[in-house]
Amino acid sequence: MIIMKNPGDINQYSIKLVRDTRIEQACNRVLSTENEGAQYFCEFKLDNLLRGDQKTRYECYQIGIDKGFLSRNDVRGFENLSPVPGGDDYGINNPAT
């Protein structure tokens, strides 16, 4: 059982848990075999924990796309998703009027 002094600190606790444990390395050892070692891997995207909740990240991504300094593929990369055809456009979606 985990007891936290301040339940609002769950994000900080989560970051510490992932950062200070060797779960990722253990996961990779289990996934690694002579035939499949390069095919599968385990990765924790800690930057997403540091950036806030999903709603906040998506709002920030939308601002970057709208202002023209992020492409859809940039955002997909941040979320560990594959690029999409035509997703490298840095055009401004909602120009100021």
pLDDT tier, 5 (very low <50, low <70, confident <90, very high otherwise): low
Complete DSSP assignment for 6-68: -GGGHHHHHHHHHHHS-HHHHHHHHH--TTTTTT------HHHHHH--HHHHHHHHHHHHHHT
Q: Of 22 and 90, which is predicted with more confidence? A: 90
The predicted-structure confidence for 55-81, as pLDDT tens digits, reads as follows 888 999 999 999 999 999 999 998 889
pLDDT tier, 89 (very low <50, low <70, confident <90, very high otherwise): very high
* Average of per-residue pLDDT values in the chain: 76
Q: Which amino acid is at 18?
A: V
49 in Cβ contact with 11 (< 8 Å): yes
d(CA 24, CA 67): 36
Q: Please tell me whether the overall predicted TM-score, pTM, comes out greater than 0.85 for this model.
A: no
The two tokens of residue 10 are 């769950």
pLDDT at residue 1 tops 50: no
The predicted-structure confidence for 22-42, as pLDDT tens digits, reads as follows 777 777 777 776 555 567 777
